[in-house]
Amino acid sequence: MKTWQRLWRHYQSTPLAQVSILVLFSIILAILVGPFFYKTSSQGINFANSVSPPSWSHPLGTNTLGQDQLARILSGGRISLTVGLAAMLVSITIGTSIGAVAGFYGGRIDQGLMSIVDIFLALPGLPLLLLVIYLFKDLARTIAGPSLGIFGLIVLVIGGLNWMSVARLVRGNFLRLREMDFVEAAKANGASPRRIIIVHLLSNTWSAIIVAATIAVGNAIITESTLSFLGLGFPPDVPTWGRLLFEAKDYLTSAPYLAIFPGLAMLITVLSINSLGEGIKEALDPKSSNLFSKSYGSKSVH
């Protein structure tokens, strides 16, 4: 309860945090609820209304097929956010598990796991991501269908290439916490290693993990958009924000609104998520800014 009280006090006293929460909540609300009020189909084709500028009937204009851009942005936002959240769960799960084991046991286990982390950090993120998607996209489509298969593949690959910084962050916190008196007392009372990791160590690392999670969501959204922009993401009929930017690249001078609106949606969403994470970090542990910056590397695949 004290944690939520600190968060509430911090956001009450920080205008930027209040704005980020309001903007992010508005975007999520628009994405989830907007299609129930804005009835225009995101898939409806009308060549007679192709590449029309913003108007009352089409507030954000139409694309080359005459499809409504606002409807497509709302639909694409749900997909992009879902990919971001799912990929974040994958990276946080893998990174937390490996970091916890390495930090708690130390010794050769720590050295071995950190060697694996160093190997993954040394890999070129974006080229490897593109290669994996290119090699396995047909197999994923065959197994789970064109949309669900690509969704699963993208989530697994993005999450599987972004867990290393989380592992290093969790390991650093575990190395510091395991030497404290409350851990020694738990060992003296006969607590099992699993109980010590989950109850005593992991519960005191959640603040750092939550901040890492918010950053992972933003990174995943940008990475998915990069894949879609390069033509290796979802099928053409799935209007993610990256796909909308890909479709707009040939009309930057004649119809710039095709790129401006989805680009702004992605920019504002990622900035709001990152500002939210920064606010959580300052509220939960104001003295940890330097430690967090050193522990959480800038490794990402975008």
Assigned superfamily of 74-295: MetI-like (1.10.3720.10)
Q: What pLDDT is stored for residue 275 in this prediction?
A: 83
Domain-by-domain residue ranges, the chain? 74-295
In this predicted structure, which of 24-33, 89-98, 188-197 has the lowest mean pLDDT?
188-197
CA 146 from centre of chain = 22
Label residue 225 exposed, middle or buried (CB < 10 Å: 0-12, 13-18, 19+).
buried
> Which tens digits make up the pLDDT trace of 206-235?
878 888 898 899 889 999 888 888 878 788
Would you say residue 297 has pLDDT above 50?
no
CA distance 277 to 82: 18
Model confidence band, residue 95 (pLDDT cutoffs 50, 70, 90): very high
Q: Which residue has the tokens 């901040």?
A: 211
Reported as a single tens digit per residue, the pLDDT across 110-140 is: 999 999 999 988 888 788 888 888 888 888 8
Tokens of 60: 């954000």
Say how far apart CA 144 and CA 138 lie, in whole Å.
Answer: 10
Q: What is the pLDDT of residues 250-292, one digit of tens each?
A: 888 888 999 999 999 999 999 888 888 777 777 666 554 444 4
pLDDT digits (tens, 9 = 90+) for 8-65: 676 666 677 778 888 888 999 988 888 888 888 888 888 888 888 888 888 898 888 8
- For the residues 184-196, what does the mean pLDDT come to? 84
Cα–Cα distances in Å, from 270 out to 7, 132, 223, 243?
20, 25, 11, 17
Interval 138-171: pLDDT, tens = 888 888 888 888 899 999 999 998 899 999 999 9
